[in-house]
Structure 1
Amino acid sequence: MSLADEMFQAMMDYSPLHAAMLGVPGWEDGLGDLSVDGQRTDRDRIAALLDRAETDDTEDAVTLAVIRQQGRAIVDRIDARLAEHTVATMSAPVNSLLMISSKLDVSQRLDKYPRYIEQAGERVRDSGRRPLSRHLQTGVQRMDAFLALPAQEWEGAHSGEIRTAVAGFRDVLASIEDGRDDDKAGLCWLPDGERNYANLVRNYTTTSRTPDELHRLGLDIIASLREEYAEIGSRLWGTKDVPEIFHRLRTEMLWDNEEQMIENALAAIARAEAEAPKWFGRMPVVGCQVRAVPEEEQRTSAIAFYQPAPADRSRPGTYWLNPLGATERSRTLSEVTAFHEAVPGHHYQFSIAAETDLPNLRKYAFIEAYLEGWGLYTERLADEMGLYSSDEQRLGMLGLDAMRAGRLVVDTGIHAFGWSRQQAVDYLRENTVMTEPEIDSEIDRYIETPGQALAYMVGRLEIQRIRAEAETKLGDRFDVRAFHDLVVGSGAVPLSTLDQIVTSWTASP
């Protein structure tokens, strides 16, 4: 077995549910081990593979770079002990488990659910790294909501055991009286927090940029976006006043009903698919479907997300839309989100990589600076492609740009500079068009998944820089279709590696 295959095996053994989400066969009955000893065993195994990667001469340079990044990311996340203070958001082990169970065939692993949920409770109960008090309360509410539902089909014959374990986890959260307050929300307030955050920043961005550099970058982008808001606002409404533009976006551009939101997404994806051959030489074989998040999952689900097609292509890739509260949400975000999550964003990226003959590690590597950077890159690419139907929808593009730039500011503010939760809320309220519920949800996500939110804008800026340099070097010989095929056809790679891949391509005769 090659070193790449060994690392892939170790990664999927560490997180069998990730294998299930990808549809990769071989991990249908696994769930992973959340215990301290179990994660130490996983860490030791992956660290040994990383040691071998330092002297390996059998893998090519790109594959070695992916091996190192993927292995190091898992080691650093285990070292940060995130399982001990992550209980409220989608990155929380129990929340994640319950949400994805209806979307996968989990029948062969249900007997492992009770112990996994118990392990999650033990990690929180036995640790001095307390979650925020508000997150403990949110976790209790979400477990109560699950327990109040009738048994769902996916629970099968193990429903009683699973619900007993969920009730036990709920009681652990409710019993903790010394959760952190909102003024100490970040990793910098926890033991080894500065070191852990620096490692997570490195892994999520795949760059050497420091929290201070990223913080200042976010501030600069926010300032420049105000000029774009003023330009489009002047065309659309005859005003360059950014606060007025923000107010109108928050209060006037709302959906009439849930069906309208779904129909708009379908129309945007259809336009993108029709235009894509002018911008991509290679199209994914598998299609992309749009589905509404089931009603029982809407209160804990993200607003929108993409689920790749399984390895056997037994179903299409799926763009999931959460219709909850549609009439209180801005319709300006519809098209930009569809382009990011579906076509030509994550659907092209995941599907085309999976259809190559690359080793599994390269096909399915989860390098967020590349993955989310590509998604964010396609939001601006869609404007080049002429996909936005109106200036109203272009304001949505700016709205998501501002959110991602704001993430650079508030993620580093919380975890590196000791910002309170309220400071982060206030910053997003002033500098984005996000609604109050969206701001609350996003800030809680940043608190519980340190560094992840940095990947989006860093990745996009690097892909744009790499493309600009290729255009300069090649001049009239630059082919945007070939460039996009190269980027998505290489699989997920660290940004520095992507730079090397494109540089070699531009140097070819």
Structure 2
Amino acid sequence: MTYCRNILAPFAAAIALAFSPAGMAAVDNAAPAPQVSAAPAHKALLTLADQYYDATARFEPVSATENGDNRFDDQLGLSIAPAKRAAQFKLYRQYAQRLQAIKREQLDDKDRINYDILQYELHGLIAMERFPEHLLPISQMDSMPVTLANYAGGEGSQPLGTVKEYEAYLSRISQLPAWIDQAIANMRVGMKKGVTQPQAIMISALPQFKHLVSATPEANIYYTPITKLPAAFSDADKQRLSAAYRKTVNDKLMPALARLATFLEKEYVPACRTTTGLGAVPDGAAWYQARVANATTTTLKPEEIHAIGLKEVVRIQSQFDVLGPKLGYTGPAAGLPVWVAAQAKFYPFKTEDEVQAVYHKLNDVLDTKLPQMFTLLPKARLDLRLEPELSRATASDHYTSPAADGSRPGVFWSVVNDPSKYGSTGMTTLFLHEGKPGHHFHLALMQELGLPNFRKFGGNNAFIEGWALYAETLGKEMGLFDDPAQYFGHLNDEMLRAVRLVVDTGMHAKGWTREQSIQYMKDTLGYDNAAKTETERYMAWPGQALGYKVGSLKIQELRARAQQALGDKFSLPAFHAVVLGDGTVPLALLEAKVDRWIAAQK
């Protein structure tokens, strides 16, 4: 089970609609474009792009931190406040008009990519204004209190190593009570309007928020930095920071966290909807289509994606037919995942360290093999770490980007709740996805390409996750799937991505229930408890999981096209450099770029 926290860019509420009619109309109906200065088009574009990015980063500074931009680590933002949200959308409309006034034909190829992606993002953002994302500020998958709690140990995206960094985190958590009160107010509005989270996922989320409540400030998770004060800090700084953290946690955070936990348990959960999909809320069908467009950067309809998913399930099950006997299984193909899940030999671990040792060994092997496939490599190193305890119960293995200044590496986080239940068959394909050459080769490289900030720290899910899923397929060419058990793990993860297309669209567009999704995942994937966790993830993040398979299929299609067109002239490292060389782009732009490269090679 994989995901990348860098899923929505440039910030969590940004839903790009692939130049949808709604998005275009919203821009076209805005006020007349202001005059552009006499500066060259290049300078005007980069100035606008930087202003746009800084506005989004200040609006959602925690998302900036997650994406490797630590300039705003002392700010929390209050993007869920209706007035701030309205002001932000007004800014987007102004930026769209300024962009429209820049003459695209005066730009070079690199700048035209920047122009097209900025236009794409702005159109999508403006079209998203109608959907009340801010009324759903909390789920079991993500919320501001849990995100900040996960930073408290100093191993997350927000660094805690200097006095200034300690002060930045203190500033940020001191702003959390205001966020909590705004979130409660928003959820009360949502309760009146019928825009709530599904009750099932909030029942799953509730233990997280109860866990944040403590009897004393010293026992509170936000006080953790004080228990890890660096020895190099002066005694005066240690005393000052300790007193400030204790006062903030005791006087501000503890009462606010108690208010939130009580509200969720006593008011919100009982009032939450008992339906499953986003289609059940007002304007839900259009809302889901907007999220689908964001996740896939296409104009595909949910029904089309559902059909693609069903087709992929059949294709992969036909491969299970061939693979099953090699593992000692002789039953029907659909039963292979259930059979593998029941085999003790595929659960060999007793400790977390044994799990980590496998990943470290795989990392070393890949260092010898990947230079044959890639000439474009990131300079940042990759660290391997365990997921913090607070979020392990609901998290999936994932990757976080390095800091832009090189102070923090990229990190592959493995989630080990119970080592004895950590399956070994999926480890190779997981690491190829989350580590090398998946997210790390792409997202770390993004920091090093000299891109404008809105692209360096942004992206779209179809490319980000599509590339990582494509990266998994390279394991076969490297001989990493010669072991039938590891190849099963790869196919089963491919099956997961195909199943996601079926159940996500099933729940949000076709009326499937949570229980239907859980049962389909159990039957198709052999999942037990994970079927519930995965289903509830898709309930909390409608559409997010669709980008993986749609993006991967597009990259595989483009590679096959290039190989057929170029024959002996085809170079895999060169193809990978073309795909990754301009950073994240929508799939239509990627296709056009690869077609230009093919023509040039001919």
Instruction: Output the TM-score relative to the length of structure 1.
Output: 0.94
Cα distance in 2 for residues equivalent to 1:375 and 1:500: 20
458-467 or 30-39, larger mean C-alpha shift: 30-39
Q: In structure 2, which of residues 15, 36, 48 is the aligned counterpart of residue 3 of structure 1?
A: 48
Q: Does 1:107 align with 2:197?
A: no
Cα distance in 2 for residues equivalent to 1:452 and 1:75: 19
Instruction: Give deviations 1:190-240, integer Å, cap 9, x for gaps.
Output: 111111111111111001111010000000000111111121112221525
339-348 or 122-131, larger mean C-alpha shift: 122-131
Tell me what 1:15 maps to: 60
Instruction: Give deviations 1:277-313, integer Å, cap 9, x for gaps.
Output: 000012211110101123344234x231111110111
* SS of residue in 2 equivalent to 1:107: helix
Instruction: Give deviations 1:329-356, integer Å, cap 9, x for gaps.
Output: 3211111111100000000001112111
Tell me what 1:290 maps to: 384
Q: In structure 2, which of residues 220, 230, 234 is the aligned counterpart of residue 151 of structure 1?
A: 220
Residue pairs, 1:123-134, within 5 angstroms: 123-127=186-190, 128=193, 129-134=195-200
* SS of residue in 1 equivalent to 2:271: coil
Q: In structure 2, which of residues 65, 68, 76 is the aligned counterpart of residue 31 of structure 1?
A: 76
* SS of residue in 1 equivalent to 2:293: helix
Aligned-residue offset at 1:25? 4.0
Tell me what 1:141 maps to: 207
Q: Aligned letter for 2:361?
A: A
Cα distance in 2 for residues equivalent to 1:213 and 1:411: 12
Q: Contact (CA 8 Å) 2:141, 2:540: kept in 1 or not?
A: no
30-39 or 198-207, larger mean C-alpha shift: 30-39
Q: Aligned letter for 1:506?
A: I
* SS of residue in 2 equivalent to 1:318: strand
Aligned-residue offset at 1:50? 2.7
Q: Identity over the aligned pairs, expressed in percent?
A: 27
Q: In structure 2, which of residues 573, 576, 584 is the aligned counterpart of residue 481 of structure 1?
A: 573
Cα distance in 2 for residues equivalent to 1:378 and 1:266: 18
Change in Cα spacing, 1:204 to 1:244, as seen in structure 2 (3 Å) is closer
Q: Does 1:96 align with 2:147?
A: yes
Q: Does 1:277 align with 2:371?
A: yes
Cα distance in 2 for residues equivalent to 1:163 and 1:471: 60
Change in Cα spacing, 1:353 to 1:23, as seen in structure 2 (3 Å) is closer
Cα distance in 2 for residues equivalent to 1:148 and 1:243: 47
Q: Contact (CA 8 Å) 1:332, 1:393: kept in 2 or not?
A: yes
Cα distance in 2 for residues equivalent to 1:403 and 1:238: 20
* SS of residue in 2 equivalent to 1:126: helix
Q: Contact (CA 8 Å) 1:473, 1:506: kept in 2 or not?
A: yes
**Which blocks of at least 5 consecutive residues in structure 1 are unaligned?**
none
Q: Aligned letter for 2:220?
A: A
* SS of residue in 2 equivalent to 1:343: coil
Q: Contact (CA 8 Å) 1:16, 1:28: kept in 2 or not?
A: yes
Aligned-residue offset at 1:133? 2.1
Aligned-residue offset at 1:77? 5.2
Q: Does 1:44 align with 2:90?
A: yes
Change in Cα spacing, 1:109 to 1:277, as seen in structure 2 (3 Å) is same
* SS of residue in 2 equivalent to 1:332: coil
Cα distance in 2 for residues equivalent to 1:111 and 1:40: 24
* SS of residue in 1 equivalent to 2:212: helix
Cα distance in 2 for residues equivalent to 1:483 and 1:173: 50
Q: Contact (CA 8 Å) 1:408, 1:453: kept in 2 or not?
A: yes
Matched length = 505
Q: Contact (CA 8 Å) 1:304, 1:320: kept in 2 or not?
A: yes
Change in Cα spacing, 1:391 to 1:326, as seen in structure 2 (3 Å) is same
* SS of residue in 2 equivalent to 1:291: strand
Q: Does 1:267 align with 2:361?
A: yes
Tell me what 1:251 maps to: 342
**Which blocks of at least 5 consecutive residues in structure 2 are unaligned?**
1-45, 160-168, 227-244
Aligned-residue offset at 1:65? 2.5
Q: Does 1:471 align with 2:471?
A: no
Cα distance in 2 for residues equivalent to 1:314 and 1:394: 36
Cα distance in 2 for residues equivalent to 1:93 and 1:418: 30
Q: Contact (CA 8 Å) 1:94, 1:120: kept in 2 or not?
A: no
Tell me what 1:505 maps to: 597
Cα distance in 1 for residues equivalent to 2:290 and 2:435: 30
Instruction: Give deviations 1:254-286, integer Å, cap 9, x for gaps.
Output: 242222211111112221221110000122111
Instruction: Give deviations 1:132-156, integer Å, cap 9, x for gaps.
Output: 2223323322111222592232483
Q: What is the RMSD of the two structures over their aligned residues, measured on CA atoms?
A: 2.0
Q: Contact (CA 8 Å) 2:366, 2:436: kept in 1 or not?
A: yes
Q: Aligned letter for 1:464?
A: Q
Cα distance in 2 for residues equivalent to 1:219 and 1:57: 44
Q: Does 1:416 align with 2:509?
A: yes
195-204 or 164-173, larger mean C-alpha shift: 164-173
Cα distance in 2 for residues equivalent to 1:260 and 1:240: 32
Tell me what 2:3 maps to: none
* SS of residue in 2 equivalent to 1:28: coil
* SS of residue in 2 equivalent to 1:508: helix
